[in-house]
A and B are shown apart, each in its own frame.
Chain A
């Protein structure tokens, strides 16, 4: 569950998001909609603690993470979240297997458990045969699938997807959304930012619309 209570977070020159309140129930998928610069990524950044908020409260799974500042606590919050980015953020020198295994390595999982979970995750995104490849050998759609597999591998309760379809063709984008919907079937809460309304319209999901940092 993700809950925002009157959250304001600003960059310099008074740009940011203002007085945002919403709640995403566990197992639901919600879109954050709006044009470029509306504050979609800012909302996600405040959740994964890449940006501190000025006022309000952010509650993640019944825990108030508003006052989390230190590196250790920030790392702990991030461990609970599966992150998906528009630019995939895959490590180019690592194989697909190693990229997906990273969150498990960070948690100190055993070798056997890592093999099992990575394989399971690769199966979910339909890339079981590409585990020895490197990111540059994959198409954009495949790289985003790997990014999703990495987010899913530790079975997080919360998945944040920051414009995951921004660099992809429409048909591939649809496949990515399908994958994210499957995550909610497994009980994960998904919050996804996008500026592509035609893409999310047929999904009939709740969405939060932003304009110049404010909810409409």
Chain B
């Protein structure tokens, strides 16, 4: 019962200390809110980028041209042998007839009319499984295909893949660094704001100590204060994120279809991170205060 009485009192003190220092508390909450908004938007872009790259990587294909003197059965045999290679997931066989149709479609000319015969070789287009959709793995597979007996050539879009992988890597690194940087700034902001509040209450803290208050009795209201600031920041961030999400859906969805995120999970993440920032920030402020006294 004593513990409950104390906790209720300290919780109320934690709440009261917010309106005893309204401006610093407001600034802290807004810092947390802005940090969470930027983090959530970064995460949203990360997820969309991830799906976008998956879509793009689905277009990673290996084109294989068989030797021109092969019979249809020999071509099909070679096609089946390629399918047995590790990492090759699917394939479409292209016989000479289909090759001429593709030529006609792309160049709007019938090759039989131009040359009088069909010189195009049989071939195939192979897709690789997700784990193999990198430059190194696709090079490996392509080389293996290239050196098969009845294969004339095998190619894949090397430069595009290298460039795309580089861009994605840079973007992901940038968003990670930005996220970490934002969390550090929010952490220092919260901790310094609470430190300011604590310093302004220095005399009160000393009086409480003289009256026999334990360390936890003195510290707990500030930690609760931190949690409330974090929680308030989360609520503000969720409100603005919801608005931003609805507006961006309205403005951008005609041009690009978002891979939407389950926003309950974003809200939970925001609340958890906001409260954590509050606790860690206030704990840091308290330990700094104890060191300087």
Contact residues of A with B, CB < 8 Å?
48, 50, 71-72, 75-81, 83, 85, 89-91, 93, 102-103, 105-111, 150
| Other-chain contact of A108, B6, B204, B207, B209 (Cβ < 8 Å) | B6
Are B212 and A103 within 8 A (Cβ)?
yes
Are A107 and B217 within 8 A (Cβ)?
no
Per-residue CB proximity of B63-77 to A under 8 Å, as 1/0? Answer: 000000000000000
CB distance from B178 to the nearest CB of A (A): 40
Provide 7 A-B residue pairs closer than 8 Å at the C-beta atoms, listed in order of the A residue: A48-B210, A78-B210, A80-B212, A83-B210, A105-B9, A106-B211, A110-B1
Are A75 and B213 within 8 A (Cβ)?
yes
Max chain B CB contacts within 10 Å: which of A81, A90, A105, A111?
A: A105
Are A108 and B2 within 8 A (Cβ)?
yes
Given contacts A108-B6, A150-B211, 4 further A-B contacts (CB under 8 A): A50-B210, A83-B210, A83-B211, A93-B20
**B residues less than 8 Å from A78 (CB atoms):** 209-212
The answer to whether B22 has its CB under 8 Å from any CB of chain A is no
CB distance from A59 to the nearest CB of B (A): 19
**B residues less than 8 Å from A90 (CB atoms):** 207
Are A89 and B20 within 8 A (Cβ)?
no
Are B210 and A106 within 8 A (Cβ)?
no
Closest chain A residue to B10, Cβ basis? A105
Are A110 and B5 within 8 A (Cβ)?
yes
CB distance from B37 to the nearest CB of A (A): 33
Closest chain A residue to B19, Cβ basis? A93
Closest chain B residue to A79, Cβ basis? B212
Q: 5 closest Cβ contacts across the A-B interface?
A: A108-B2, A78-B212, A79-B212, A108-B6, A89-B207
The answer to whether B3 has its CB under 8 Å from any CB of chain A is yes
Are A75 and B3 within 8 A (Cβ)?
no
Known A-B contacts A78-B210, A110-B5; the reply to A71 vs B215 at CB < 8 A is yes
Closest chain B residue to A85, Cβ basis? B210
Q: In the bound complex, how far is the Cα of B212 from the Cα of A75, in angstroms?
A: 4
The answer to whether B208 has its CB under 8 Å from any CB of chain A is yes
Are B5 and A91 within 8 A (Cβ)?
no
Known A-B contacts A89-B207, A89-B210; the reply to A105 vs B6 at CB < 8 A is yes
Q: In the bound complex, how far is the Cα of B208 from the Cα of A111, in angstroms?
A: 19
Are B210 and A108 within 8 A (Cβ)?
no
Are B204 and A91 within 8 A (Cβ)?
yes
Max chain B CB contacts within 10 Å: which of A76, A77, A102, A111?
A: A102
Are A76 and B212 within 8 A (Cβ)?
yes
**A residues less than 8 Å from B211 (CB atoms):** 78, 83, 102-103, 106, 150
CB distance from A109 to the nearest CB of B (A): 7
**A residues less than 8 Å from B293 (CB atoms):** none
**A residues less than 8 Å from B210 (CB atoms):** 48, 50, 78, 83, 85, 89
Closest chain A residue to B205, Cβ basis? A91
Are B6 and A72 within 8 A (Cβ)?
no
Q: In the bound complex, how far is the Cα of B202 from the Cα of A180, in angstroms?
A: 29
CB distance from A152 to the nearest CB of B (A): 13
CB distance from A208 to the nearest CB of B (A): 22
**B residues less than 8 Å from A93 (CB atoms):** 20, 204
**A residues less than 8 Å from B1 (CB atoms):** 108, 110
Closest chain B residue to A160, Cβ basis? B210
Known A-B contacts A107-B2, A109-B5; the reply to A72 vs B214 at CB < 8 A is yes
Are B207 and A106 within 8 A (Cβ)?
no
Q: In the bound complex, how far is the Cα of B3 from the Cα of A89, in angstroms?
A: 26
**B residues less than 8 Å from A75 (CB atoms):** 209, 212-215
Q: In the bound complex, how far is the Cα of B211 from the Cα of A111, in angstroms?
A: 19
Are B212 and A108 within 8 A (Cβ)?
no
**B residues less than 8 Å from A76 (CB atoms):** 212
Q: In the bound complex, how far is the Cα of B1 from the Cα of A170, in angstroms?
A: 45
Q: In the bound complex, how far is the Cα of B3 from the Cα of A111, in angstroms?
A: 13
Taking CB atoms and an 8 Å cut-off, the chain B residues in 212-235 that contact chain A are 212-215, 217
**A residues less than 8 Å from B213 (CB atoms):** 75, 106
Closest chain B residue to A77, Cβ basis? B212
Q: In the bound complex, how far is the Cα of B2 from the Cα of A102, in angstroms?
A: 14
Closest chain A residue to B5, Cβ basis? A108
Max chain A CB contacts within 10 Å: which of B20, B214, B217?
A: B214
Q: In the bound complex, how far is the Cα of B235 from the Cα of A108, in angstroms?
A: 32
Closest chain B residue to A83, Cβ basis? B210
Are A71 and B207 within 8 A (Cβ)?
no
Known A-B contacts A107-B2, A108-B3, A108-B6; the reply to A102 vs B215 at CB < 8 A is no
CB distance from A63 to the nearest CB of B (A): 15
Closest chain A residue to B214, Cβ basis? A75
Taking CB atoms and an 8 Å cut-off, the chain B residues in 1-44 that contact chain A are 1-3, 5-6, 9, 20
**A residues less than 8 Å from B5 (CB atoms):** 108-111
